[in-house]
Amino acid sequence: MYLIGIAGGSGSGKTTFSKKIIQRVNHPDVVLLSQDSYYLSAPSPSLRVHGEANFDHPEAFDWPLLRDHLSRLKQGNEVAVPVYDYKTSRRTSDTHAVGGPVKVVILEGIFTLWDEALRDLFDVKIYLNVEADIRFIRRLHRDVRDRGRTHDEIIRRYYDTVRPMHQLYLEPTRKYADLVVGEESDVAADVVAARVRELLK
């Protein structure tokens, strides 16, 4: 099992970049896993900012479950990945199966490179480095369109948690990346996809 970790700030294009790789490889043995699936349904009250849960802090994630799942995937096993509902900010009772016979798993998420145990499992680590204003605009459009949030709510969360957590916890993980990718990601996707195709041979 070959594991690829893709990190970057909210709105940096992690899911889009991951899908570019998958589309270029075009092979059923390459699957995508989102770190968002491992959000805790109830992050610690100590993380609250102005009474609201802080989903941009590393401790908002279920690290023991994510470590366990990646370790099992690395061994070629199948795992039951939680399904997270962005509109309720909670996990549902559903899961979906990932792994088993697949050969390549791409994990994308804001803190993909934050945990040392996870970093040790990845065969390649990628960080998407995109300017803050571009990330914010993308997040604004996405959260209104897909997650049922208002402009005021998105702007408030950005200043309360997204921006400070990015600077404090997320940006420093860039140093762990094997490859840092800018806004123009097509060439990088070509390079990674070529490597994956070689492995699949």
Residues 74-104: tens digit of each pLDDT: 999 999 999 999 888 889 999 999 988 899 9
CATH of the domain at 107: 3.40.50.300
- The structural domain count of the chain equals 1
pTM higher than 0.85, yes or no? yes
Beta-strand pair 179-181/124-128: parallel
Q: Strand ranges (DSSP E) for the chain?
A: 2-8, 30-34, 78-85, 90-99, 104-108, 124-128, 179-181
User: How far is 54 from 76, CA to CA, in rounded Å?
Assistant: 34
Highest mean pLDDT of the ranges 37-51, 125-139, 166-180: 166-180
Residue 6 lies in domain: 2-200
* DSSP-assigned letter for residue 193: H
Asked if residues 16 and 63 have their Cβ atoms less than 8 Å apart, the reply is no
- pLDDT digit string (tens) for 25-54? 999 999 999 999 999 987 777 778 877 888
